[in-house]
Structure 1
Amino acid sequence: MVLFPSLVNGLARTMSTKKGKNGQNEAGREAVEVLEKEAKKNELILGSSGIVKSSKSNNFASLCSKRGNKGINQDCLIVWEEFGCQEDMIFCGIFDGHGRWGHYVSKRVRELVPASLLCSWQETLASKSLDLDFDLEMDRNLHQFEIWKQSYLKTYAGIDEDLKQQSGIDSFRSGTTALTIVKQGEHLIVANAGDSRAVLATTSDDGTLVALQLTTDLKPNLPEEAQRIMESKGRVFCLEDEPGVYRVWMPNQETPGLAVSRAFGDYCVKDFGLISVPDVTHRNLTSGDQFLILATDGVWDVISNQEAVHIVSSAPDKEKAAKRLVACAKREWKHKKRGIAMDDTSAICLFFQSSTLQLGQPVKDCLNSNV
């Protein structure tokens, strides 16, 4: 079923009465701001380590972010339960800043994406004729996905333009990745710009909990990404002391050396192939799907998808799931990346309504510590 955000539109109509037709979009934004403030008041929005649980939903989110050894933590995360005052919707986002101003950029993007996406969704729905008499369920699902996809594309483009206009943030050589999801009932929409990763824990036919990667790490050496960059006169290559680490470079300068092919900000290479356009995908969740992990590359650089699923499923309770995953990543950095400064590590673990998983299953001995 496609749900129309009636409360958002009701508020928008009320606020636009005195503004006239031209003020309807502005009224919609103000209506979303009202909903956001109310959600924060009711502790349905969290932008730091902790948990989010709504009394109207069985979803449960565990969040954790830890600073690495490179200075200030440039990772940001957020969960908004009952997204847009919809009981069956939740928004999750994780952002990995880079560059001197990276922590400012990631925070700014975290602040803007949820409300902007909600506005875009409301506007896209309003501009579409919703035919609820589709012959096939697939048609309804596709229609719903296309609305979210258009909303995401509009949102990311608008925010990237907003950053360019921010006089207090120098995002010429700084930026952030962005991995966000919206879960609407059994529908999961994933939007990825960068190299953070979404991994789904699902139950196989034999009852084994397996990892399914839902996103592609958008690195400069991927064929389609590299082609776009080089056609735009950008360069993609590794430094001699970093074999296998491909970066984006300007045509005639040894900068910025960006290790992702999509990001907000980084305007020094936006004319040379870097884009902020997200890769938007969709999945219909089933009763076998247990939980979703969103994490920055600081986690995935040292922990495999399957290891992450085992770590989360071995947590003594859901509240400690993200904290346990981040703690394990920090330990693995010491073993696998000796002499390399540890990256910031952040994770969101979202447990679904359909989840019947019993946590506390034993895994590797090195993970059996109280975290």
Structure 2
Amino acid sequence: MGCTTCSQRGNIIIPSQPIRNNIKYPSKAKLQIKQKDSTGRQIGISSVSFDFTKPFLFSSETLNLPYISHISRCVLPGIDPRGERDKKCQDYCLYISNQKSILLSLFDGHGKEGEKIVSICGKVVEGFFKENIENYSETPEKFLEDLCNSCDANVKKPGNGIDSTNSGSTAVLVLIHNNKIYSASLGDSRAILATEILPNEIPVPKALNHEDTKHLYTTVSGLYPIQLTKDQKPEDPDEYARILKNGGFIKRITDNGKQIGPYRVFDSSGKYPGLAMSRSIGDSSGSTLGVISTPICTSLPITNKEKFIVLASDGVWDVIDNEDVVAFVEGYKNKCLSICEIPLQVESNNTIIAHLLAEEARMRWLKVVTEDDVIIDDISVVIMQFNDTS
């Protein structure tokens, strides 16, 4: 990607490029993956070729709701570039509405039962919204909290055929209701808002994992990325204190004396459950260690200056930062189609905006694969666009 302008972030100059009229993504990849020994020293290179997976979920529609004009969703199943492991898709996302409100939800499963767990969560969301939204009309944050705990209870319900001991899911939910944006999250899936006006009070601090490699596009002037949900990592001071109080331990995995990967939650043995998040649905082995299913909730008033909301799993946030997601969606949403079938060759002018962002994330994963020889994660995206009041 060529450097056309440079923007300064901290002490590092980052090459940024403007949005192009059209952008295309291949259907296949051929990579040279670095082989490394236990010390991280490169000892060789292996060549792999593979086809990209087609969307597992793909939908888009124009809505006739207060404030809302359009919504799209896409889930791209992950890939083992070497083809050695059967990679099941464990992400799921959906949206449901009535004449007054709309609820967006996204789940990112993990463990052997992750696929089943996100499926149950999807069913719980639909039923809970239809049966209870009117009962929580004046307490929407309580609605989101009870919904997350209901998902957790259904996943852990005896006799449901699911062993949630070491399996679970993140959750991120956004509810548009009573002229406000309500958000709730468990784990490290995230929701952000693009708006033309900075709110008086920011809902949560911006996530700290904004490496410079995640920022490629020129920032959009006059459009602010507001993080709506807080990533719940074990090393966060509040989360850390709760887990230690419940007898849990937090550490990184050590390989040949070198710490690798994120901080994780373990029991006193230091072997289980190894969770890289401090709140989740399921994960029964972590429940006694302070890993809870009660979400962190936030709210913002609607000002009619909102442009769009993006919900995504860590398959996006691991490789793209908030600013780049906003720049990408703002630059391409009007170039994408409102409704279409899944295209054979993905371009900005033949698919929906949620699919395009998911493909952008997948392309950035290729650099991670070549350096670290990892599996490409499942990638989930929901994008809701507000009515244009300009």
Distance in 1 between residues matched to 2:231 and 2:299, nearest whole Å: 17
Deviation string 1:249-273 (CA, Å, 9 cap, x unpaired) is 1222412211111111100110111
Alpha-carbon shift at residue 50 of structure 1 (Å) = 1.3
- The equivalences for 1:338-357 within 5 A come to 338=370, 339-354=373-388, 356=390
Equivalent position SS for 1:191 = strand
**1:1-27, CA deviations, whole angstroms, 9 ceiling, x for partnerless residues?**
xxxxxxxxxxxxxxxxxxxxxxxxxxx
Distance (whole Å) between structure 2 residues aligned to residue 280 and residue 97 of structure 1:
20
| CA contact 1:74–1:98 (8 Å) conserved in 2 | yes
Deviation track 1:284-306 (CA, whole Å, cap 9, x = no partner) reads: 12222100000001100000101
1:162 aligns with 2:154: yes
d(CA) in 2 for partners of 1:213, 1:248: 25
In structure 1, distance between residues paired with 2:246 and 2:353: 42
Q: Is the 8 A contact 2:57 2:76 kept in 1?
A: no
Is 2:285 aligned against 1:285?
no
Which of 53, 58, 72 aligns to 2:88? It is 72
Q: Following superposition of structure 1 onto structure 2, how do residues 32-71 of structure 1 map, counting pairs within 5 Å?
A: 48-55=57-64, 58-69=68-79, 71=87
The letter for the 2-side match of 1:266 is D
Q: Which amino acid aligns with 2:377?
A: D
How far apart, CA to CA, are the structure 2 residues paired with 1:274 and 1:209?
36
1:184 equivalent in structure 2: 177
State the TM-score, normalizing by the size of structure 2. Answer: 0.69
Q: Is the 8 A contact 1:52 1:79 kept in 2?
A: no
Q: Which moved more, 1:173-182 or 1:64-73?
A: 64-73
Following superposition, the deviation at residue 313 of structure 1 comes to 1.4
Partner of 1:239: 253
Sort the Cα spacing of 1:56 and 1:270 in 2 relative to 1 into closer, same or farther, 3 A: closer
Write the mapping of 1:84-99 to structure 2, written as runs, cut at 5 A: 85=98, 87-99=99-111
Answer whether contact 2:249 2:270 (CA < 8 A) is retained. Answer: no
Which structure 2 residue ranges, 5 or more long, are not aligned?
1-55, 81-86, 199-219, 339-351
For 1:224, the equivalent position in structure 2 comes to: 238
Give the AA of the match of 2:236: L
What is the CA-CA distance between 1:245 and the residue it aligns to? 0.5
1:208 aligns with 2:217: no
Q: Could you tell me how far apart the structure 1 residues matched to 2:304 and 2:134 are?
A: 29
> In structure 1, how many angstroms separate the alpha carbons of the residues matched to 2:147 and 2:328?
34
Provide, for residues 38-92 of structure 1, a one-character-per-residue CA deviation record: whole Å limited to 9, x for no partner.
xxxxxxxxx9311032345642111111011250110000011xx2x3x231111
Q: CA deviation at 1:194?
A: 1.1
Other structure's SS at 2:254 match:
coil
Q: 1:56 to 1:278 in 2, by over 3 A?
A: closer
Equivalent runs, 1:1-371 vs 2, <5 Å: 48-55=57-64, 58-69=68-79, 71-80=87-96, 83=97, 85=98, 87-125=99-137, 144=138, 147-167=139-159, 168-184=161-177, 186-204=179-197, 208-241=222-255, 243=260, 245-315=262-332, 316-317=335-336, 319=338, 320-338=352-370, 339-354=373-388, 356=390
Q: How many residues align?
A: 286
In 2: Cα distance, 1:74 partner to 1:48 partner = 12
CA RMSD of aligned residues (A): 2.1
Task: For residue 195 of structure 1, report the CA deviation from its aligned partner.
Answer: 0.7
Question: Contact conserved, 1:289 with 1:355, CA < 8 A, in 2?
Answer: no
Deviations 1:221-277 (Å, cap 9, x if unpaired)?
111111111110111110124535111112224122111111111001101110000
Relative contact order: is structure 1 or structure 2 higher (C-alpha 8 Å, sep ≥ 6)?
Answer: 2
Q: Relative to structure 1, is the Cα distance of residues 318 and 293 closer, same or farther in structure 2, using a 3 angstrom cutoff?
A: farther
Please tell me whether the aligned partners of residues 229 and 297 of structure 2 are also in contact (alpha carbons under 8 angstroms): no
Structure 1 gaps of 5+ residues are 1-46, 126-143, 357-371
Which shifted more, 99-108 or 182-191? Answer: 182-191
**DSSP-derived class of the 2:125 partner:** helix
CA contact (8 A) 1:48 1:78 kept: no
TM-score, normalised with respect to structure 1: 0.72
